[in-house]
Structure 1
Amino acid sequence: MMTVRPRRLALVVAPASGESFASWVDRMALRNGCPAWAIIEALGVDVRASSDVRSLAYGVVTMPETCRAIEAATGVSSEVVRGMHLEVFDGSVLDLAGVRVGDKESVRRAEGREWVQFFGSRVCPTCLAASGGVWLVWWKLGWAAVCPEHRTLLVDLCPRCRVSVRRGPAGRPARLSRSRMPAPLRCGALLSGAVCDQPIPQIGTSSVSSKFADQQQLVLEVVTHRRSALIAGQVVSAGQWFAALKATAMLVRLGVPEVLPLLDAPLDGQGALAAEVGGQRWNRAGPVGRFGMAPRTALVAAGLLAVALEVAAAESESALVARLMPLAAAARMRWKERRPDLLTQVATCAPSNVIRLVSGSVSRRSRLRR
């Protein structure tokens, strides 16, 4: 049986470089004067049949046949369409293996495991204003902390409604409305039936040093394979590099508050990290989930990134060990005899296995319980 593809749309907006799929759909909806749901239906993307609908894995992964349908409807190539989804980062900063369109459980597991926001985003208000409402896909990553161009922290929360930016009604995943028009430059969160109309370009931002901006740029270049990933002077895959950064971040969290004086971060960043670690709820993964969760704010992400990159940038394996040992010592002080002695293990193991040791040790929940 022949598959009937949707008719080519008369008014098509060209995707901006690095734009997210949801952002592109919203801008197309505005150009066509209709709700985003109508555009999604015209593109041939499956949506739920309810008053407010969204596709499972919307903007996360897509199927080849969906990409072909969108190409037929818009003239935008399947490769570009896929590049607007988070799956473009699969195998580097994200592991989306097992995520399937229409499988709610697979999406839920991946969102809880990966350092990413499937249905939310951080944002640079200045970039958003300059582009007229283009939301970049990398803003969704857990390591997204700083705008390299404007050297400011990305925004996490709307200052008016205190809901995570682009997250949706009262913090729940946003759905595609059949009636409301998109508002890319406004918050748009639904609270008790009212829509928050906070203009995002008017949200104040905090300046950061050129060092933090350069570190974020490095991450973006590794994510997009424009720069080789190095650990202790050795080339590794992007996936290994980000696993090492996460392992180091987990070790830092284990050492809070004793580790705070060792961090090259401003006092507000140290305070944010301490508050996040102290306030995290223990989930079904126990302490593993607590210390392995994605940073909740750009400020915490920037602090963890600075430490992790400093460790990875060691010029040799012995230097790598030297940089990890103070972090392990702080973790040992914090956990005392209730956890494995990482300091001793780091000092005695083969340097090339240090990161693997740290990653493996902090992920064994049975050894991390209080």
Structure 2
Amino acid sequence: MTGWTDERIPIGVAPAKGEALDSWLERYAQRLRINTLDFVDYLGLPHVSARKMGTPLGKMVRRLTEDERDLLQRRTEVGAAQLTAMTLEPYDGSLVRIDPVSRRLRCPPYWRHYGNTSRYCPACLEGEPARWQLRWRLGWAIACTRHELLLLDQCPQCGNAPPVATRGRHRVVPRPETCRSWIILRGQDVRCDFPLAQAPAVRLPNEGSVLAAQHAVDTSVLADHHGAASRQRAGELSFLGRRALRGIHSQLELAPPVVREVLDECGGTTPRIAATHEVHDTHNIAVGTALAVIATDREHPACDELFAWLHRGNGRPIGVPRDHPTSDLGNWRPAGPRVISRILKASDGQLTLKARLRYRTATPAAAAPALTEEQVSQRAAKLPGMLWPSWMLRLLPAKAAHQPRIGGMRRACVNLMLIPGGPIGHREATRLMGNSHFRSQQEALLAFVEADHIASTLAHFSHVVDTHTIPIDYARRRALFADESVELALDERRHREICRSFGSRQFTPVHQERARWEVRRLLLGAEPYGGNHPPPWAHRFAYRLHPDLRGFFADQAAAVLAAHGINEPVWWEPPEDWLDGIALPVAAPLDITTDRLAALLAPGPAASDVARELGLTMHQLRLLLESRGVSAPKPPKPRGPGHPTPRKGDLAPDRLRHLYEDRGMQQKDIAELAGCSPGIVRYALREAGIPLRPRRVAGELARSVDPAWLRIEYHVKGRTAADIGRELNTGGNSITNLLDAWEIPRHPLRGHAPPPRVHTNPFADLPVKLSPAMRRISIRQNSLPALRSAVLVPGYPTRRSAALTLGIPRTTFNAHLRLVEDGAGFAVFNHRKRPVRVTPRGRTLLNEARHLLQLLDAQQPPQHRPTDMSEPDGSHRTPRLQTGS
């Protein structure tokens, strides 16, 4: 300031560092030997009654208007930026909230210190008389780090919060460091005039928790108070501090020793708690903030003990097991994601497996579910129906025993991978992945792999899938190729040529079906079936697969994708570096090089020998070979000169003639008796010159067998197809062909869930071809009333309201819907929506059901037709309760 303007006050008073605006104006007035309101009048600032809290200084210290800022700048030549820095305006929106019109202070986001009054440090007022710091008005100011004193809120003599500036016009200007509050003495209003510099204050230990908390607040909250990290840190400290104060008030006897230590630092008194609200004086905030800093400092020895005490603030025990971490988890959300994560991890031992996955409590990134159903569907589109073999190897224990349900375990893994962070359950995840719901899959996984390992690893896998791009849309492939009734085209001529090129005869119809099965497996990324076990030939087929055939299958799958306009790789495995940053509990045997594998597999050894050489189990070896895309085909045996070995035993010519011609045995039965294959029996018959029996005329077996008799023998009596075939002098394959042609359900494979009992199809006499889903539903008991209930569900808010309106018991109504969905094999209704909605596949099924029911009702006499429960306008009316099918 080099020159004086006409409006400039001749005497200048420079603001001190960190000083508040009203403190500076008060000092300015004292320098001019006038009271503050006269000084305000002299400057040209407006004012109101002297005794009111709404004096201009009270508003100006919060925020200056443009006119006030320009006026002060002209009269004092203090810059606009410096004037703004002496107000609370820089803290607006982060630490304080100022009304933009009235400049009133609203409820702040954290500690409720409104800033109308100021805390103070007696030592600071003694060293710098009347220089009140602006930061003393913030709720986070609890201690003076310079003099190591706890800040004061009130005057020790009058008990009031001392004003910073003088209120009212007085001929005698009060001393700078005295209390300017008015008190009533002998019936008159007089000033308190207590010397605030002599006020007793609590001295804080240099290495104590309160001073450490003030330093932590200065660096993590006040330094960048508008930043997201500072806001999150302020929310943590404020929430945990208030919870600590309530805990001290309600259950101090259960508090850890560090709570007593902090109370002793702050004077040894218990914080005051009002009946209706929390008291946010310096003592309370200091105790709460210090305890909150300790509870969030992972290096402090009392951190975990104190946080556990805060977490158990309600004093109620936690039950086990639970599907949700805490009943009041929503009350902790203001504390921020880091505190929520600690609460979830602390609850990990009390949760079920699905809850641990949903909240990721077994991982460092525990958090409340935040994904939508659409985002979970996007994750499902990135996953095949079975977990990738290399990732399954990372999940298996290092010394895994023989596990026959490895296929079901892989399906259970991808089902469970849809649960972390999302809103859906295991059953919804199973349907979304197109897998069959078998409880045995998850039970086998839990019996074989530790639950902690599953909860941590699968949650990691889900996070990796969400954060990376996968080049295959598995959901689209499941929609196109999962239906096994849609046959995949196969170049049979090329298949035959490749097999003959290396001396194999694996091009028969059976082998062609296996080839199509392999092509479908490549397209789906999973075995094309929904059970726990692959076909019995699948493992040997994959292990002995010739490289030329493997390339042929990949070319066929690529051709199928090209025919559908899909530009994706046929087969894909996640790169190993995706899991580099994740510390998985088990080291997978993936360090075995491909060259070593090729050297071991070149002679075509047995799988057990290779597994023994590598120290793996059979299933670990199969997963390893699948992830590398290699196999061990047997080299062709050289054919040398020699004479055929004479047939002996049951294959001797005389014995063979007796068994085949005299006793009429089939080649398969002779092979079983002789302990060889049917092909060897056929060759032995030709060598002995025994003519083969002529084949049956096409259709002769079907014309000679009664379908009702076959259903009774197969289903009621439980006979096998081979046993019935022996009675009819035919093979078991011919009987199974009849079972499929007459739609007689086959016996389940061992280890699979038994099929439902077969009942009469109510639509059998209708001239309509049923869809596969409708055929499965119609052969179940009570299928007709179940379909009648299902077609009436759309439009109702809930299943409960639909059952009440239709007059059907709720349990019966739910059983009807389960029967329809289980029989169809897919979700017909989206029960999570309100009102209940129909899925796209379910809409097609319900339209077919309505058509069939109309045709069926049209064939019945009018008196026997079921009551129509729909009005012409599409609304529903309450029907009479009907029982029976």
Q: Name the TM-score class by shorter chain.
A: 0.7 to 0.9
Alpha-carbon deviations, 1:65-89, whole Å to 9, x = none? Answer: 3222211111111111111112222
Is the alpha carbon distance of 1:63 and 1:334 closer, same or farther for their aligned partners in structure 2, counting shifts above 3 Å?
farther
Tell whether 2:142 aligns with 1:142: no
- Show the counterpart of 1:362: none
| 1:26 and 2:26 are equivalent in the alignment | yes
> 3-state DSSP class of the match of 1:191?
strand
Q: Which amino acid aligns with 2:309?
A: P
By how many angstroms is 1:157 displaced? 2.1
**Residue deviations 1:237-274, cap 9 Å, x none?**
32222122111122223323325723241347496444
Aligned residue in 1 for 2:88: 86
Structure 2: gaps (5+ residues): 319-325, 333-339, 348-358, 369-885
- For 2:242 and 2:180, the matched residues in 1 are separated by 34
- In the alignment, the residues of structure 2 paired with residue 100 and residue 137 of structure 1 have an alpha-carbon distance, to the nearest angstrom, of 20
Which of residues 198, 203, 207 in structure 1 aligns to 2:199?
A: 203
Q: Which residue of 2 aligns with 1:305?
A: 289
Q: 1:310 to 1:21 in 2, by over 3 A?
A: same
* Counterparts of 1:65 and 1:46, CA distance in 2: 11
Aligned to 1:332, the other structure's residue is in SS state: coil
Whole-angstrom CA distance in 2 between matches of 1:354 and 1:258: 29
- Residue in structure 1 matching 2:120, options 111, 120, 123: 123
CA-to-aligned-CA distance 1:198-243 (integer Å, 9 cap, x gap): 11111122211123223313323445427x99xxxxx943222212
Match of 1:237 among 229, 238, 244: 229
Q: 1:111 & 1:335 partners in 2: Cα distance?
A: 34
Distance in 2 separating the partners of 1:112 and 1:189: 29
CA offset at residue 354 of structure 1? 7.2
Of structures 1 and 2, the one scoring higher in RCO (CA 8 A, sep 6+) is: 1
Residue 209 of structure 1 aligns to which amino acid in structure 2? P
- Within the alignment, does 1:213 sit opposite 2:211 as a pair? yes
- Structure 1 distance, partners of 2:213, 2:74, is 40
1:123 offset after TM fit, Å? 1.1
Look up the SS of the partner of 2:147 in the other structure: coil
Deviations 1:44-74 (A, max 9, x none): 4432256767125241122233222211111
Aligned-pair distance for 1:142?
Answer: 2.1
Aligned to 1:179: 170
Summarize deviations over 1:107-161 as a string: whole Å, max 9, x none: 3x34798632422111111111111221111112222221101111112222211
Q: Please, which of 228, 245, 257 is the counterpart of residue 250 of structure 2?
A: 257
Q: TM-score, normalised by structure 1?
A: 0.72
> Which residue does the alignment assign to 1:366?
none
Q: Is the 8 A contact 1:186 1:197 kept in 2?
A: yes
Question: Paired residues, what number?
Answer: 316
Map 1:308-327 onto structure 2 (within 5 A): 308-314=292-298, 324-327=307-310
User: How far off its partner does 1:185 sit?
Assistant: 0.3
Distance in 2 of aligned mates of 1:322 and 1:281: 29
Does 1:194 pair with 2:186?
no
Q: Give 1:274-289 correspondences, 5 Å limit.
A: 274=271, 276-277=272-273, 280-282=274-276
Shift in CA distance, 69/209, structure 1 to aligned 2, threshold 3 Å: same
Distance in 1, matches of 2:295 and 2:286, equals: 14
Give me the whole-angstrom Cα distance separating, in 1, the residues matched to 2:242 and 2:6: 47
Summarize the Cα distance change of 1:268–1:17 in structure 2 as closer, same or farther, 3 Å threshold: closer
Contact map agreement 1:121 1:156 (CA 8 A) in 2: yes
Query: Which whole-Å CA distance do the structure 2 matches of 1:186 and 1:204 have between them?
Result: 14
State the 1:38 CA deviation: 2.3
Matches within 5 A, 1:309-348: 309-314=293-298, 324-329=307-312, 331-333=313-315, 341-342=328-329, 346-347=343-344, 348=347
Quick check: 1:146–1:153 contact (8 Å CA) kept in 2?
yes
**Superposition RMSD in Å:** 3.8
Q: Is the CA contact (8 Å cut-off) linking 2:263 and 2:270 kept in structure 1? A: no
Larger radius of gyration: 2
Secondary structure at 2:251's aligned position in 1? coil
Deviation, 1:305, is 1.3
Unaligned runs of 5+ in 1: 168-173, 230-234, 283-289, 356-370
Comparing 123-132 with 53-62, which one deviates more in the overlay? Answer: 53-62
Please identify, of 344-353 and 197-206, the stretch whose mean Cα deviation from structure 2 is larger. Answer: 344-353
- In the superposition, relative to structure 1, how do residues 208 and 33 fare at CA in structure 2: closer, same or farther (>3 Å)? same
Q: Name the SS of the counterpart of 1:57 in structure 2.
A: helix
